[in-house]
Chain A
Amino acid sequence: MNNFDINKIRADFPILNQKVYNRQLVYFDNGATSQKPKAVIDIVNKYHNELNSSIHRGVHILSDMATNAYEEARENVRKYINAEKPEEVVFTSGTTHSINLVAFSFGERFVSEGDEIIVSEMEHHANIVPWQMLCERKNAKLKVIPFDDTGTLILDNFDNLFSDKTKLVSVTHISNALGTINPIKKIIETAHRYNVPVLIDAAQSIQHSAIDVQSLDCDFLVFSGHKVYGPTGIGVLYGKEKWLEQMPPYQGGGDMVDIVTFKKTTYGKVPFKFEAGTTNYIGAIGLGVALDYLREVGINEINEYESSLLNYGTEKLQSISGIKIYGRANEKASILSFLMDSVHMLDAGMIFDKMGVAVRIGTHCAQPVMQHFNIDGTIRASLCFYNTKDEVDYLCEVIKQVQVMFA
């Protein structure tokens, strides 16, 4: 690992170095949102302090500079995911917005009564509900790829889910609740054999591994800025130009139009026709800086470090009696979802919190996953590259302490 110096990395994230309830903070809720490196915080401050100005509108220097920086951020995202053209990168408010945009605009253009959309059983609500709403609007049908008890998608009968009515497959790259890394390349290849486009929810993967939309050949790919060490309220919708061109706008307003008269309005070109109103340009610029930061550390180094952290954490957790890990797929990202035999997850969560450990408790916006296992939720420790084995050890100590407290 060339540049991977954990102490230096931790020093880049000011929030990590603090105490909560007089105890050192251990932040294991990265699946919900990641913390921000100083470079991102600084650029957001700099824009608010010195350069703030509405983009694509002004004739003055500040507006020009903000516009350039925003379009540079788009180019930066394009490079990061290796999209063919910057026009294929639409800035949204986040993954949820991106999926809703596709569900509406793609749905308006291509989905009609009796058509089918395929999702998987392990999706986040954000990749279920927009499709259900589309299905309700169009009287279409949602089909579901099941997963087995290890949390692995069952793709043996995947072909059977397709018919001439199938219009889109929308699956997550990495399960936020179980950590499973899905074989998206294989899913995309299969779908394309039936001429069905595929949307990849990369909300949980963009921060863990390199993504190349051209080599994947996905039709859409979506992610959020705040989970990839960027600001909150910014997200990305990547779409192949051929699809974006054919899709009607999602929201109407300023900046997305060509000519507006009361008789008829014509829309701007992609990506602008999907970016109505004043966009979160400072968020986009901050996201660009976050991606620069990841390049500097090295996404492959990050991936390697996180894998070793996952293996270490899995082994340590397993060695404690009375712990059950949910999500035992062979290919996994650094998410540890578990329950304790004798302690209610909410009881455990309260003690974890007071001991300085931030985890997520509950269904993780993936209720169908919990229904699969017939549980109310899990305790989820989602680890990332600024976490350490020492922190994993501390979590295990706290778990043992909780077991004693509630015995």
Chain B
Amino acid sequence: MKSIKETQQEIIDEFEVYDDWMDRYSYLIELAKDLPLIDPKFRNNEYLIRGCQSKVWLNSEYNDGKIIFTADSDAIITKGIIALLIRVLSNRTPQEIINTELEFIDRIGLRQNLSPTRANGLFSMIKQIKLYAIAYNAKEQKN
């Protein structure tokens, strides 16, 4: 499996191919289709991330020292963005997730191409992922 750093670079390279944001959106729509879907039973308010304009559900499972994330959204582009986050941060140790600087978001111009409210939504997603990591990490150390 590629490291977090390698995966982020891979995403940056993929987005560099497109110079128009319309093409990048089309690519995000493609990625959305590959997102490991959340089990329908988690598509409820308990798993809803607060602070997103569209609905985003996120579930995490802790398996063998690594966190597996699954997610879904009612908006496709949002789903594509989550797919990127999951590609970088899923199946990693809590410590890895906590220590990661998500540089790809700025490098592919994602932050600049979201309206401020939608950028806040993106940061809510990242925050939620990191909170899970912190929680699992704390649990691990307790054991």
Contact = CB atoms under 8 A, between A and B. Distances in A.
A88 B115 CA distance: 41
Contacts of A346: 53-54, 75, 77-78, 118
A19 interface: no
Nearest to B117: A362
B26 interface: yes
A283 B78 CA distance: 40
Interface stretch (A303-311, A325-333, A347-355, A384-392): A347-355
Kindly state the interface size class of chain A when it binds its partner: 10 to 19
B22 A350 contact: no
19 contacts: A344-B75, A344-B76, A346-B53, A346-B54, A346-B75, A346-B77, A346-B78, A347-B75, A350-B25, A350-B77, A353-B115, A354-B21, A354-B22, A354-B25, A362-B53, A405-B25, A405-B26, A405-B29, A406-B76
A262 interface: no
B31 to A, nearest CB: 13
B74 interface: yes
A32 to B, nearest CB: 14
Nearest to A401: B22
Contacts of A344: 54, 74-76
Contacts of A355: 22
Given A347-B77, A362-B53, 20 more contacts: A21-B21, A344-B54, A344-B75, A344-B76, A346-B75, A346-B77, A346-B78, A346-B118, A347-B76, A350-B25, A350-B77, A350-B118, A351-B22, A353-B115, A354-B21, A354-B25, A355-B22, A405-B26, A406-B29, A406-B76
List the 6 closest pairs (A to B, CB-CB), nearest first. A344-B75, A346-B75, A346-B54, A347-B75, A347-B77, A347-B76
Interface string B87-128: 000000000000000000000000000010010000000000
Contacts of B22: 351, 354-355
Nearest to A361: B53
B108 to A, nearest CB: 15
Interface in A312-357: 343-344, 346-347, 350-351, 353-355
A289 B78 CA distance: 44
B11 to A, nearest CB: 19
Contacts of B75: 344, 346-347
A114 B92 CA distance: 61
A403 to B, nearest CB: 12
Nearest to B76: A347
Contacts of B25: 350-351, 354, 405
A236 to B, nearest CB: 30
B24 to A, nearest CB: 9
A354 B78 CA distance: 16
A405 B30 CA distance: 10
Interface string A47-85: 000000000000000000000000000000000000000
A343 B26 CA distance: 14
Interface in B49-92: 53-54, 74-78
Contacts of B115: 353
A336 to B, nearest CB: 21
Contacts of B54: 344, 346
Nearest to A377: B53
B22 to A, nearest CB: 6
A391 B115 CA distance: 23
Nearest to B26: A405
Contacts of A353: 115
A63 to B, nearest CB: 40
A353 B117 CA distance: 14
A353 B118 CA distance: 13
A37 to B, nearest CB: 27
B34 to A, nearest CB: 16
A355 B118 CA distance: 18
Contacts of A343: 76
A41 to B, nearest CB: 26
A397 to B, nearest CB: 14
Interface in B1-55: 21-22, 25-26, 29, 53-54
Interface string A375-407: 000000000000000000000000000000110
Contacts of B29: 405-406
B35 to A, nearest CB: 15
Contacts of B118: 346, 350
A407 to B, nearest CB: 10
A362 B53 CA distance: 9
A404 to B, nearest CB: 10
A361 to B, nearest CB: 8
A346 B75 CA distance: 7
Nearest to B73: A344
A346 B118 CA distance: 9
Nearest to A362: B53
